Amino acid sequence: MTSTPRFTLHPDFQVGAVDPRLYGSFIEHLGRAVYGGIYEPGHPSADEEGFRTDVIDLIKEIDVPVVRYPGGNFVSGYNWEDGVGPKDQRPRRVELAWKSIETNQFGLNEFVRWCQKAGTSPMMAINLGTRGVDEARAIVEYCNFPGGSYWSDQRIAHGFRQPHDIKLWCLGNEMDGPWQIGHKTADEYGRVAAESAKVMKWIDPSIELVACSSSHRGMSTYPLWDMTVLDHTYELVEYLSLHTYFGNLEGDTAHFLARSVGMDAFIRECIATCDYIKAKKRSKKTLNLSFDEWNVWFHSRDQDRKREPWTVAPPLLEDCYTFEDALVVGCMLISLLKHADRVKIACMAQLVNVIAPIMTENGGPAWRQTIYYPYAHASRYGRGTVLQMNLNSPTYADKEFGDVPYIEAAAVHHAPENRLVIFAVNRNLDSALELQGDLRAFAGYTVEQVIQLTHPDPMAVNSRDNPLNVVPKAGGEVKIENGQFSARLEKLSWNVILLKGEPV
Active site residues: 174, 293
* CA gap 31, 495 in Å, rounded: 33
Q: How far is CA 391 from the centre of its chain?
A: 25
**DSSP structure class, residue 190:** H
* CA gap 107, 123 in Å, rounded: 14
* CA gap 77, 75 in Å, rounded: 5
CB–CB of 55/352 below 8 Å? yes
* CA gap 48, 349 in Å, rounded: 27
Nearest one of 375, 397, 504 to 26, comparing CA atoms = 375
Secondary structure class of 313 (helix, strand, coil): coil
Nearest one of 84, 89, 99 to 29, comparing CA atoms = 99
Nearest one of 341, 327, 315 to 370, comparing CA atoms = 327
Q: Treating both helix axes as pointing N-terminal to C-terminal, what angle do 224-233 and 186-203 enclose, rounded to 10 degrees?
A: 30
Radius of gyration of the chain from its Cα atoms, rounded to whole angstroms: 23
* CA gap 43, 364 in Å, rounded: 8
Q: Give the 3-state secondary structure of 196-249.
A: HHHHHHHHCCCCEEEECCCCCCCCCCCCHHHHHHHHHHCCCCCEEEEEEEECCC
* CA gap 504, 494 in Å, rounded: 30
CB–CB of 389/409 below 8 Å? yes
Q: Rounded to whole angstroms, what are the CA distances from 349 to 98, 243, 259, 292, 353?
A: 16, 9, 17, 8, 10
Nearest one of 67, 64, 62, 61 to 108, comparing CA atoms = 67
**Residue 386, strand partner residues:** 16, 412
Counting Cβ atoms within 10 Å, is residue 380 exposed (0-12), middle (13-18) or buried (19+)?
Answer: middle
292: left (phi over 0), alpha (psi -120 to 50) or beta: alpha
Question: Cβ atoms within 10 A of the Cβ of 375, count?
Answer: 25
Question: Is omega for the bond preceding 72 within 30 degrees of 0, making it cis?
Answer: yes
Amino acid at 11: P
Amino acid at 33: A
